[in-house]
Amino acid sequence: MGFIWFWIVAVMLAAYVVLDGFDLGVGILHSLLARSEPERQIMLRSIGPVWDGNEVWLLAGGGTLYFAFPALYASAFSGFYLALMIVLWLLILRGASIELRMHIDDGLWRSFFDGLFFFSSLLLAVFFGAALANVIRGVPLREDGYFFLPLWTDWRVGPQPGILDWYTVIGGVVALVALAIHGALYLAVKTEGDLQARVRTFVRRSWIVLLAITVISLIATIAVRADTLTNYYAYPVAFVIPVAVLGSLGGILYFCRREADRNAFASSCAYLSTMLVGAAVSLYPRLLPSSNDLGHDITVQNSISGPYALRVGLAWWAFGMVLAIVYFVVTYRMFRGKVNLDGGGYGH
């Protein structure tokens, strides 16, 4: 049951990154690629029907984590308290910027919320990437399973790190570039004309940066945690994951050059998913490693709920997932196709 719930949580978080990731990417590009008010409205309309539904996966993942691994939830949500409050405010500001932008027909009003949308989306991408890097690197867990992290210390990886150091900054840059490209590929699927051509150009020019920072992040991970490849050596079939990462990266560029936008977007989804799966494989059975004493790691075994709760919870989780999947299939089907500014609503 521990193995099952570990992968349930991992899959739910991966679903959040893939789905809400293109929302964040659109927010990052909103002030960079749009050259007119109609183009800015098109970009917002492309995510308007789905952005808030995509964020449900973050709540569902957090709730599942609390149910299945309560000790991890208690430790992580106390130790990362400062970072979580920053993320919470960024989510609030981003939602407010989307919902309030068009309430007043005034250029200054719209410019303010455009800036807020860009700022919150960019920082969310960076903080989410840094958060994953913190989990991979480890945190200074005490014997009671708790810890505290300042925002930064000396920017070095060591027994008493901060939330931000050179390694977690690399994680933040990977997330920023990857989600910006992910959002651009989504826009290529949903838009037409000059804006579509512009986002395709952005992907082709940014692709080499993503390739370079991905390779750098893999090398840095092995340098920071010497046991990163332990599970890979124990189960050599797992080496198919880094191959899939590189293959999906190649697919992004290949399909983008041929203007096969849906295939390019699918390749981006595969890239994000395989990167996260690779991180999960390197961690298992650890959930939160210790940076100062391996004996203090929070693992599947020492943080999991009771067997009866897990069995009952699995049945309710399956029922809830069926409802969620049906909702997402219906929503994305209703708003499929290109976005335009004709009529009201979201212009589909």
* pLDDT 10s digits, 268-293: 999 999 999 999 999 999 999 988 86
The pair of structure tokens assigned to 186 is 């989504």
- Which range is least confidently modeled, 36-45, 75-84, 108-117, 296-305? 75-84
Give the pLDDT band (50/70/90) at residue 133: very high
- Residue that has been written with the tokens 């709760």 in this structure: 309
* Model pTM score: 0.93
- Report the 10 Å Cβ neighbour count for 31: 17
Query: For residues 266 and 296, which has the higher predicted lDDT (pLDDT)?
Result: 266
The pLDDT, as a whole number, for residue 119 is: 95
The residues near 107 (Cβ < 8 Å, ≥ 6 apart) are none
* pLDDT 10s digits, 86-102: 999 999 999 999 999 98
The pLDDT, as a whole number, for residue 294 is: 67
Mean pLDDT of 7-20: 94
Sequence ranges of the domains in the chain: 2-334
- Residue that has been written with the tokens 């060591």 in this structure: 158
The residues near 52 (Cβ < 8 Å, ≥ 6 apart) are 95
